[in-house]
Amino acid sequence: MSNIAYMDYNATAPIVPGATQAIVDALACIGNPSSVHGMGRKARALMEDARDCVGAFVNVRSDWVFFTSGGTEADALAIKGCGRERILVSSVEHAAVLNASEVVETLDVDANGIVLLDGLEDRLKNDSRPTLVSVMAANNETGVIQPIAEIVEIAHRYDALVHCDAVQAVGKIDFDMQALGCDLISLSAHKMGGPQGVGALVKRPEIKLQAQISGGGQERSLRGGTENLIGIVGFGAAAKEKTNFMRVKALRDDLETQIKGLSDDIIIFGETVDRLPNTSFFALRGLTSERQVMALDLAGVMISSGSACSSGKVKASHVLAAMGVGDEYANSAIRVSLGWDSHKDDIDKFVQAYAKLVERVQQKNSNRSDAA
């Protein structure tokens, strides 16, 4: 891995050492958390310790935390299980939210991808149906942070519930569920240095949900099926880790300073508003996202064009479309996302490889000008 610059933390973060060790230790526990014998009780204790850690991470009691297979399932449980007649979501949400229900209605955003609060209030004021508002804490592509506290205040004024997909935010910025006033939030372990295949829905006790996976009554009858003990233990361990994101932000800012020096045509999306400290989403006209991802991959630099897609293909960003970004830039956008194991060498390796791509575009444009 020494010759590889991994810069795709928003897709999945490398597992932190503490989580790796916790998982290895948990492999020795053979009990089912629902069994009443000694080994079962030991497994249950490991799981409940992890539940405590995840709850503390977002400043809630452990009994607010329900483990799932990941952020997507948590989103689906909140949206499908809430029983609300109308679902309002931002137009820049992750597909896990946008595709969670057939009755989803989208909210407009501004040029930075921030929900238009006046528009939200108008939608709630003019329709009295029971409503769930779902807005992500921070965008997975741009890193732009939403005004969740203000959204909650507006929504609660009209008796709407608020669900927040906090998958990208937790561990990168301070996130206090109680201070923000959210009713439900979704979390995913592998975005914060835990293992893949485990997440959580965190909800206020008074919120009643309909289980989407029925079974043997696990997770207090809200999510059937034997719990993924190994994943849950790793999740809990990752929640105890603290990454110095001021250091990560300095790396991100250094990268942006250097790439802006390569060309005046580079646009950094959301640059003027609050963003996650690890994320940079930018574009240079004249070279498609797919070609950049492949060229950088060959140079040993792992980045993406935005949200990780199950097909593995590079797709146009619906986030940029919602922000009103034209195709010439949207089709050229790439995302760099950093994390706990990022270093200055990664930035240097990226800039060196990216400079060659910029030079290629500039040469092509120069040839066109000469031909004209």
Contacts of 177 (CB under 8 A, 6+ apart): 58, 59, 60, 64, 166, 185, 202
Yes or no: say if 19 and 199 are a contact pair by the CB < 8 Å rule.
no
Which backbone phi and psi does 210 adopt, to 5 degrees?
-95, 125
Report how far residue 228's alpha carbon sits from residue 82's, in angstroms, rounded to the nearest whole number: 24
Yes or no: say if 229 and 26 are a contact pair by the CB < 8 Å rule.
yes
Helices (H), the chain: 17-26, 38-57, 71-81, 95-98, 117-125, 148-157, 177-180, 218-221, 229-239, 245-260, 289-298, 318-322, 327-330, 344-371
Number of H helices, E strands in the chain: 14, 12
**Is 182 designated active site?**
no
CB atoms within 10 A of CB 43: 22
53, 82, 182, 309: the active-site residue: 309
The arrangement of strands across the sheet holding 104-107 comes to: 65-68, 199-203, 184-188, 161-165, 131-134, 86-90, 104-107
CB atoms within 10 A of CB 190: 24
Yes or no: say if 34 and 226 are a contact pair by the CB < 8 Å rule.
yes
Report how far residue 332's alpha carbon sits from residue 283's, in angstroms, rounded to the nearest whole number: 5
Cα–Cα separations (whole angstroms), residue 180 to 40, 87, 139? 37, 20, 17
Task: Provide the annotated active-site residues.
Answer: 309
